[in-house]
Structure 1
Amino acid sequence: MTTVTDRTVPDAPAVQRTPRRRRTPAKVVVARSVVAVLLAGYAVVSLYPFLWMVSAAFKTQQEVIQGGHLIPHDPTLSTLVDTWAQLHFFDYFLNSLKVTGLTTLGVVVVYSAASYAFAVLRFPGRQAFFRLFLVLLFVPGVVTLLPIVLLENQMGILGTHLGLILPFVNGTAPLSILLLTNSFRSLPDELRDAARVDGAGELRIFTRIYLPLARPALITVALLTAIPTWNEYLLSRVSLNDPATFTLPIALQQLQSSNVVQYNQLMAGALIVVIPVIILFLATQRYFVNGLAGAVKG
């Protein structure tokens, strides 16, 4: 008897089909193109004054008045050198650095602690106080200028750097508390619970756990405080009378106090003033973007 052995025929390999990409609707493509064009136009309009300032800083006064071109025909460094000497950069730079540094330090220390309380602790009126700070975001700072000047005059600090630092710290409260509170709330509660089980108090939890983890948000708040403080002019112009206390924006204003405004020197002075801000932003932009995104998501 002959036995026929059944042979198993292997299955044919399955044909792998490449998933088709979904075609973007034409309306979406058109909308994105319009938005891209609008943003590009806005970028050009925004960058042109800055580029003109940089260009004028390397021109002579006559070439600036003639205008008509952005790139200097005969670039010169003499404008920057002369302006540097007239501006007495280092004297006013130290004043601006003092005001900006102490303001930023005060904002980070005070409002990080306040934001930790709003985000983590439980106390009566917590939500009401937090909403009050949010409402203050919509109050223009100029409406408080006269009360600040009168109050500082009564306190005897008008015309001093302390008279600038305190209002600057106070004016940054709403935005700083909003960003830092959202950043602290985004951290898991298990970290605080575990630290309390290990016997850590609130101060240690705040300084050893929450502050290091919220470093991008802290850098964001510090940057959002330092740049406006460095460029602040109105309160400084109203309160400061002694040239020894002038900050860089006030010193820059002195360049155009003559009868004939030297536009090339004025633009050179503006470039000198803005360079430290640009360097600061470029050095911290990675933390700034991450901190701002994390705070908004939180």
Structure 2
Amino acid sequence: MNAVRSGVVRQLTPGRLVAYAALALYAVVSLYPFAWMVSGALKGRDEILRGGHLVPREPTLDTLVDTWSRLHFFDYLLNSVKVAGLTVLGVLAVYSLASYAFAVLDFPGRRFLFWFFVALLFVPGITVLLPLVILENKLGILGTHLGLVLPFVNGTAPLTVLLLTNAFRSIPRELHDAARVDGAGEARIFWRVYLPLSRPSLITIAVLTAVPTWNEYVLTRVSLNDESRYTLPLALEALASGNVPRYNEIMAGSLILVVPVIVLFLVAQRYFVNGLTGAVKD
């Protein structure tokens, strides 16, 4: 027991203490705005206008209930789920196949195409916004959810290809060769061998795709004019742009927007770290 205690004491070097203190400070600074958001969502209008205290003196769920029902947040929630869900499915379906080809198959120009995808990581998405809007207008999909899903899927290509290709490369080549000896084709090897072994990486990609898609504002604001197709970020903007902003309702809307992301991460966190580590270790 004494040996364990002395080992713990030796590990707490001044450098570690400074690092822990910096991380604790960063956590407080990061969580403080979130705490105010939760606090505001639980306050009535009069109390939040008085301000000055973090803990609600008269906590109430009426603000959340009224914001949810009066502003039809459920409809906007379904729109966000639809766009984010279709984007995740499209990313996993398209780029898992592309990454398998880059990692396993041998074809002319493989290295060039792979590094071309990786190079796209350094292209700011805002630079293609205007050409994208013009193209979608000519295709007749501007202002639709499909006009959001397709650019989101395309924009996720560089990071997804990089992570999944490395994840597939980390799988022993002997498994592929053994499956070929047993008579399996490439499609069956991909479905039965590579996808199951890459589940943590696939879940990581799903989370990394879903979160920014869920929070996307710029392209959504430019594309959508029909209020019935609004996603949650646009609904929150409409809530904040009134003549007399109701700050407690804005906080309640923000909480409704962020809770699904937190739940998603909590559910997938045990896969997330393993998947990210496996995807970047090579």
TM-score range, shorter chain: over 0.9
Query: Of residues 199, 210, 218 in structure 1, which corresponds to 2:194?
Result: 210
What's 1:117 paired with?
101
SS in 2 for 1:70: coil
Q: After TM superposition, give the deviation of residue 145 of structure 1 in Å.
A: 1.1
What letter is aligned with 1:259?
N
Deviations 1:109-151 (A, max 9, x none): 1000011111111111111111111111122211111111111
Alignment of structure 1 residues 68-107 onto 2, 5 Å: 68-107=52-91
Q: How does the TM-score come out when normalised to structure 2?
A: 0.94
Instruction: Name the CA distance, whole Å, in 2 between partners of 1:181 and 1:292.
Output: 12
1:196 aligns with 2:185: no
Could you say which structure has the higher helix fraction?
2
Instruction: Name the CA distance, whole Å, in 1 between partners of 2:133 and 2:29.
Output: 37
Q: How does the TM-score come out when normalised to structure 1?
A: 0.89
Instruction: Name the CA distance, whole Å, in 2 between partners of 1:138 and 1:63.
Output: 46
Larger CA deviation: 82-91 vs 210-219: 82-91
What's 1:16 paired with?
none
Q: After TM superposition, give the deviation of residue 213 of structure 1 in Å.
A: 0.5
Gaps (5+ residues) in structure 2? none
What's 1:252 paired with?
236
1:225 aligns with 2:209: yes
SS in 1 for 2:225: coil
Larger CA deviation: 175-184 vs 251-260: 251-260
What's 2:163 paired with?
179
Instruction: Name the CA distance, whole Å, in 1 between partners of 2:228 and 2:6.
Output: 66
Does the CA contact (< 8 Å) of 1:119 and 1:181 recur in 2? Answer: yes
Gaps (5+ residues) in structure 1? 1-18
Deviations 1:7-33 (A, max 9, x none): xxxxxxxxxxxx999989999812111
SS in 2 for 1:187: coil
Q: CA separation of 1:25/1:148 partners in 2, compared to 1, >3 Å: closer, same or farther?
A: same
SS in 1 for 2:221: helix
Query: Of residues 133, 139, 142 in structure 2, which corresponds to 1:155?
Result: 139
What's 1:241 paired with?
225
Q: Which 4+ stretches in 1 moved above 6 angstroms?
A: 19-28
Does the CA contact (< 8 Å) of 1:116 and 1:181 recur in 2? Answer: yes
Does the CA contact (< 8 Å) of 1:96 and 1:247 recur in 2? Answer: yes
Instruction: Name the CA distance, whole Å, in 2 between partners of 1:257 and 1:283.
Output: 34
Larger CA deviation: 182-191 vs 86-95: 86-95
SS in 2 for 1:160: coil
Does the CA contact (< 8 Å) of 1:218 and 1:291 recur in 2? Answer: yes
What letter is aligned with 1:275?
V
SS in 2 for 1:192: helix
Instruction: Name the CA distance, whole Å, in 2 between partners of 1:200 and 1:40.
Output: 52
Q: After TM superposition, give the deviation of residue 62 of structure 1 in Å.
A: 2.9
Deviations 1:170-191 (A, max 9, x none): 0001111111111101100000
Query: Of residues 245, 248, 266 in structure 2, which corresponds to 1:264?
Result: 248
Q: After TM superposition, give the deviation of residue 280 of structure 1 in Å.
A: 1.3
Alignment of structure 1 residues 273-284 onto 2, 5 Å: 273-284=257-268
Please tell me the root mean square deviation across aligned C-alpha atoms, in Å. 2.0
Instruction: Name the CA distance, whole Å, in 2 between partners of 1:164 and 1:153.
Output: 12
Instruction: Name the CA distance, whole Å, in 2 between partners of 1:61 and 1:228.
Output: 31
What letter is aligned with 1:112?
S
What letter is aligned with 2:84?
T
SS in 1 for 2:13: helix
- Which protein is bigger by CA-based radius of gyration? 1
Instruction: Name the CA distance, whole Å, in 1 between partners of 2:197 and 2:221.
Output: 39
Does the CA contact (< 8 Å) of 1:87 and 1:269 recur in 2? Answer: no
Q: After TM superposition, give the deviation of residue 64 of structure 1 in Å.
A: 2.1
1:66 aligns with 2:73: no
Does the CA contact (< 8 Å) of 2:67 and 2:73 recur in 1? Answer: no
What letter is aligned with 2:167?
S
